[in-house]
A = this chain, B = another copy of it.
Amino acid sequence: MSYVVVYGGKGALGGQCVSAFKASGLNVISIDFKPNEEAVGNIVLKFEQSFEEQEQAVLSGLKEALGDKKLSAVVCVAGGWAGGNAASDELVKNTDLMIKQSVWTSIISARVSSQFLEENGLLVLTGAVPALKGTSFMLGYGLAKAAVHQLVQGLAQDDSGMPKGATTIAILPTTLSTPMNLKFMPDADHSKWTSLEEVASGLLKRITEPTSREANGSLVQILTADGQTEWKPAQITIA
């Protein structure tokens, strides 16, 4: 029976992933600041731990949980949102938080994949469609997601330290229908929001059906309009 990691497994999207993956018969190990009781294993981090301490807690926790077994997939949906432009007194604090929530978790997921992902396995990180361009009113959020986008492209290259045949992609949601987003943006155009079930089932498909995966290194935009969702790799050209 296959093992998968959901990093951020107690969050809104992460919890949905744990449920959906478990329902299809996968053994899910959750990594988060709180345990997810649906998971077969939990690695519970502390907010005050440093980057290196979190890495060590994750790697040693997985070694204990897995023994000699390997992971079929590592899905990192940890993250968060905070705003702030250059004039905001909160910008530094919020940028620090965004880096911890998106970059630290993504880098540790890459470390996990290097050590525990099976050959031809899948690593999924989480970016954001708006961060493909500038994001003046949420500078810290945008730069942290852009960092994840660039990381995914590096992990897809030769000599990245990923297992043989592995695929790394980023999912780039626009706005997810989370309880938090519904609470803070009650009057937004919800027809462009993507449901958590859609994302979780799309990820499950990519875990269990390798041929359904986008090309290694893809930044897969998840675009919803009128309730219809398309998973569309961004085409980026630089001259």
Give Cα A96 to B146, complex, Å.
16
Inter-chain CA distance A88–B150, complex, in Å, is: 18
Q: Are B139 and A52 in contact (CB under 8 A)?
A: no
A235 partner residues in chain B, CB cutoff 8 A: 237-239
Q: Is A132 an interface residue (CB 8 A)?
A: yes
Contact of A147 (CB < 8 Å), options: B51, B107, B132, B144: B144
Q: Which of A7-15, A40-48, A158-166, A181-189 touches B?
A: A158-166
CB distance from A53 to the nearest CB of B (A): 10
Q: Which residues in chain A, 181-239, are within 8 Å of chain B measured between CB atoms?
A: 217, 234-239
Q: How far is the CA of A61 from the CA of B139 in the complex (A)?
A: 24
Of A16-24, A30-38, A63-71, A110-118, the one with at least 4 CB within 8 A of chain B = A110-118
CB-based nearest B residue for A168: B86
- Report B-chain residues with C-beta under 8 Å of the C-beta of A239: 234-235
* Nearest Cβ on chain B to A231's Cβ, whole angstroms: 15
Residues of B contacting A148 with CB < 8 Å? 143
On whether the beta carbons of B142 and A154 are closer than 8 Å, the reply is yes
Task: Count this chain's copies in the assembly.
Answer: 2
Q: With a CB–CB cut-off of 8 A, which chain B residues contact A238?
A: 132-133, 234-237
A92 contacts which chain B residues (CB < 8 A)?
51-52, 55, 107-108, 111
Which of A93, A95, A150 has most chain B Cβ within 10 Å? A150
Question: How many chain-A residues does the 8 Å CB contact rule pick out?
Answer: 57
CB distance from A166 to the nearest CB of B (A): 10
Q: Which of A95, A135, A155 counts the most B-chain CB atoms under 10 A from its CB? A: A95
Residue of B146, B155, B159 near A150 (CB, 8 A) is: B146
B136 touching A155 by the CB < 8 A rule? yes
Contact B159 A134 (CB under 8 A): no
Q: Are B143 and A159 in contact (CB under 8 A)?
A: no
In the A-B complex, the 5 residue pairs with the closest CB atoms? A87-B161, A134-B153, A146-B150, A86-B161, A134-B154
Q: Which residues of A contact B (CB under 8 A)?
A: 51-52, 55, 85-88, 91-93, 95-96, 99, 103, 107-108, 110-111, 113-114, 131-137, 139-140, 142-162, 217, 234-239
19 new A-B contacts, CB < 8 A, other than A137-B159, A139-B151, are A51-B95, A85-B114, A86-B155, A95-B107, A99-B103, A107-B140, A131-B150, A135-B157, A136-B159, A136-B160, A142-B151, A142-B154, A146-B146, A147-B150, A235-B237, A235-B239, A236-B236, A236-B238, A237-B237
